[in-house]
Every structure is written in C-alpha cells, then in structure tokens.
A and B are shown apart, each in its own frame.
Chain A
Amino acid sequence: MARRPLSDKVAMRFTISVLEASGLPVAYANNLLFVSWRRGSKKENQGKTTKSMCDRNGHVSWEESVTAEGDKDKNSFSLKATMTRDSKQGKLEDKTIAFTLKRQAEGKTTRLGHTIVNLSELVEVKDHDLPTVTTLELPVTTAKQSKNDPKIKVPRAFIVLGALSSLPTLAYQQRALQVRISSVVENEGDASETEEGAAPAKVLTHARTHYNGPLSLSWIASLTSSRLVGQPKHVDIFGRPLLDALVVDGKRVYDVPPILTKIAAIIEANSLDVEGIFRLCGRTSEVKDVQTAFSEGRAEAIDLGAVQPHTLCSTYKAYLRALPNTLLPSDMYNEFIAIGAKCMLPHSLTHSLTHSLIHLFV
C-alpha cells in the first residue's frame, strides 16, 4: 500500500492591517503609540506601523494615518509564509505572528503589551466564500513601566487588526479578520526596548478570551493556545499545557519538551540497566529540586548526570502527570479506554480467533 505523504507545504501570503487599539489607560493619552510585528527570526519578517496619537479615551487608530510611499513603517503589510499541512489531520501546523504595542516618549521606546496570532487559523476559518469580517479579542500581556512610572492597571485593552489571507492555489479565497486584544496581564520588571522580546513576565491574572463572529469552536481552542504561545522564557512548565514547553519567546522551538528529552538522554546514557527504573520513586525533596530547576530554567546549571536516576524518572513522570491535557488527550479519554477494553475483553479474542479459524479453513 502506498504511503500518503505525511505533510505538504503551501506558500501563502497574508495581508494584515493594524487598525486600532482601545481600552488603553488614560496615562497613555497624547502619547505616540505604534505596533511592531514579528514572525520568526528573519529580518524581512518584521516591521512596525506608523506612530499615532492616543486620545483621552484610550483609543488610538492607525487607519487614517497616511503612509508615505516607500516608507518602511506600514500599517498594512503583506507577509509570505510557508504553511505545513499535516495531511493526516488535514490541518495546518501552527505558525505565529507576534504583535507588540509600543510607546515612544522622550526618545525612548517602551513595550506596553503584546499578543500573538496564529497564522494557520487565518487560513482555516472555513466555509465562507465571501470575505468575512471577524472580531476577536485576544488577551494582551502588558509590560509594566519602568520603576518611576506609576503602575498602570488596564481593565480592558484591545488592538484591532484586519487580516486577509490568500491561498494562491485556490481560486480567490480571502477573508478579513479583526483581532482585538483584551484582558490585560501584567508583566514584572523593566520592559524597555533594549532586549526585544526578552522581557521576563509573570502572569498575575488569568486572561479571558472573547470572540464574536462566524468562528468555529476549534478557533476558540486555538486562540487559547495562541495566547499560551506568548509565554516568556522561563515559566513554571509543570501543570502548563504541552505547547508552553515548546515555545520560547513566541516562537515554536521544540518538538518535544526539553525536560523530557534531556532526562531521556541522561537515562539512556547512564541508567538503562538500573533495576526498577521508572517503577521506583526518587526522594521527594530531590524531585522537587529538579522540578524547580527546570521551571526556573536552571536545568543547565545543575549536573543532571549526578542526580539519582530514580529522581530524574520521577520528575519525568511528574511532568507528564501534571499536564492539564494528558499526553493521550483527555477529550479522547473514552475512545482510548474503549481500545483498552477491547484488548482485554474476550469478545475481541473470539473475534480474532474466528478470523484465524476462517484462515485455517479457507
């Protein structure tokens, strides 16, 4: 039997316009704000809008501002991306674009917040031949101002983006998308421009995702994960979704959580012959230490090879157990259990035996 290709790649062009942001704090009134965007690490895949004044209602619009021909700051931009389609699932794999809201004041640029949009979802909102306008509200992570600034509480802020995606191989398919950024999560630490995208952040409040418009349920699910894509470098990965461990600074870096691959490599190198490996437990306090080291991104600093193998294996299992959606996903729990039941039930035995008997006689 011929094997189907596992994935195929489609080059796509996305046209995205940054329209407006609102719900911003009063403190930003009369400030020049702009949005910068970044997709991956390539230099051509980033840019920023023109600077626009925030009004006293915390609203800023980029629509009206005129962009000079050849100006490198553009409120609408077009972006090429190669999307990979998993033909088994028929789904496009995630590709994200990060938007950062910034303020320019006194010659200094400050990050105010950011959000992430999953490009594959722009393509996958299905079944509308006419361009549709969709409003999405995405949570934004705001950066706290430098120390002398008052701590700014933002009840609700959003950016509206208009986006069109076109699939060159299909006849004129396009849709408009508006993305709003809402529900603000506060960052800790100074977030000045010096280190792009590297500001350490701590999630203080849980962001809510709202949407309206003709969207499928899978879109909501993916919105939730796009939000998670934006997690900064070293967050506690225990108890967080699998995707969190794969993403660094909004970019998907790993296929498998490093905590799993690192422990597996050390066990394979040193401890495959240890009796009861994975069955026996490590000392709780040591497991805690290793967990903390991974959570705080200090795993490189400690010599994992010197850690007791049972402790490493317990950490490995603890990570898997703590996943909010287990490795075999919880929403398919009943289906997996049903297969387990068929492994054990006599009827599947008799069934396959009947088959063998038929083969015997035919």
Chain B
Amino acid sequence: MLTAVIVTESQKDKPPGTTIAPVSAELLHELRELLAKCPVEHQASILHLCQFLERVQEHDAANKMTYDNLAIVFGPTILSSATANADPFQMIADNGMKIAVTKLLLSHWRDLVAVRRTNRW
C-alpha cells in the first residue's frame, strides 16, 4: 500500500518516458566508477558535453530541450555498440537504455564526472 503511494507521488509530475526509478546512490556510484575507467581523453570530452548541455537545458523554457529531450537526441550519438550487425530488435530495446543512462549522466554529471586539471603541454 505504502509503496504504491510513494510511486505515484514521486512520479506524478514527470512526463512519460522518463526513468521510473529514483536515482539511487548505488547506481550513481556504479556509473561514476564506469566513467572513471574511460580513457582520459574521453573523460575530458564527456565533461565538456555535460557542461555544455547543462547550459542548453537551463534555457529549456525557451528551447524546450529538457534533459529528457537531450538524452533522446544524444543517447544513441554518444553510446553505440562495437558490433556492426547487431540484432535490430535488440538495438531498439537498447535505445531506451542508452537514453536512460545518458539522461542519468547529463542530469547528475556533477556527481559523476571529475573536473580534471587541464592536461596541456
């Protein structure tokens, strides 16, 4: 009973298609660890993308680009499988998960991506 009430309360203002689960600390931790394993040059560009898209999202009243919309656009762009001829049905199924993980990244990047010292010489 109580469970059902909490779900309705926490989700009622959100548009359809958003992630259902409230973001758990474990999940953030898992994503943070995974991002830390990425090559450094990827990390720097991921940070750039997150910072830039945060600025875009701050203007969502005018540009209508919420994190949900940005994740739909960027999910398949920033994450794709190395396998060329993947099963098309699997690809469609994966698409939702790409968008979900992208939204998690974009909306929580401050908790996820280390702001590195610049590495120029």
Q: Give A95's nearest chain B residue, CB to CB.
A: B121
Quote the shortest CB–CB distance from B94 to chain A (angstroms).
6
- Supposing A320-B78, A329-B38, A330-B82 touch, asked if A339 and B27 sit within 8 A by C-beta, the answer is yes
Q: Give B48's nearest chain A residue, CB to CB.
A: A256
Chain B residue numbers with a CB within 8 Å of A276 are: 63-65
Contact with A along B30-47 (1 / 0, CB 8 A): 110010111111101110
Within 8 A of B (CB), among A111-146: none
The answer to whether B24 and A7 have CB atoms under 8 Å apart is no
Quote the shortest CB–CB distance from B4 to chain A (angstroms).
10
Which among B37, B63, B80, B120 is the interface contact of A273 at CB below 8 angstroms? B63
The answer for the CA separation of A4 and B38 in the assembled complex, in Å, is 18
Quote the shortest CB–CB distance from B44 to chain A (angstroms).
4
Quote the shortest CB–CB distance from B42 to chain A (angstroms).
6
The answer to whether A272 and B19 have CB atoms under 8 Å apart is no
Most chain B CB within 10 A, of A89, A278, A350, is at A278
The answer to whether B42 and A327 have CB atoms under 8 Å apart is yes
Within 8 A of A (CB), among B50-101: 52, 55-56, 58-59, 62-65, 69-70, 72-74, 77-82, 94, 96-101
Not counting A86-B116, A328-B46, A328-B78, a sample of 18 additional A-B residue pairs whose C-beta atoms are within 8 angstroms of each other reads A256-B45, A272-B62, A273-B63, A278-B70, A326-B78, A328-B38, A333-B80, A336-B79, A337-B94, A339-B100, A340-B99, A343-B104, A344-B19, A344-B20, A344-B96, A346-B20, A348-B24, A349-B22
Q: Which residues of B contact A (CB under 8 A)?
A: 2-3, 6-7, 19-24, 27, 30-31, 34, 36-42, 44-46, 48-49, 52, 55-56, 58-59, 62-65, 69-70, 72-74, 77-82, 94, 96-105, 114, 116-121
| 3 closest Cβ pairs, A-B complex | A340-B97, A340-B101, A330-B82
* Sampled A-B contacts (24; CB under 8 Å): A252-B120, A268-B52, A272-B62, A272-B63, A275-B64, A277-B63, A279-B65, A325-B42, A325-B82, A326-B77, A327-B78, A328-B42, A328-B101, A330-B79, A333-B81, A337-B97, A339-B31, A339-B104, A340-B104, A342-B21, A343-B97, A344-B97, A348-B24, A352-B22
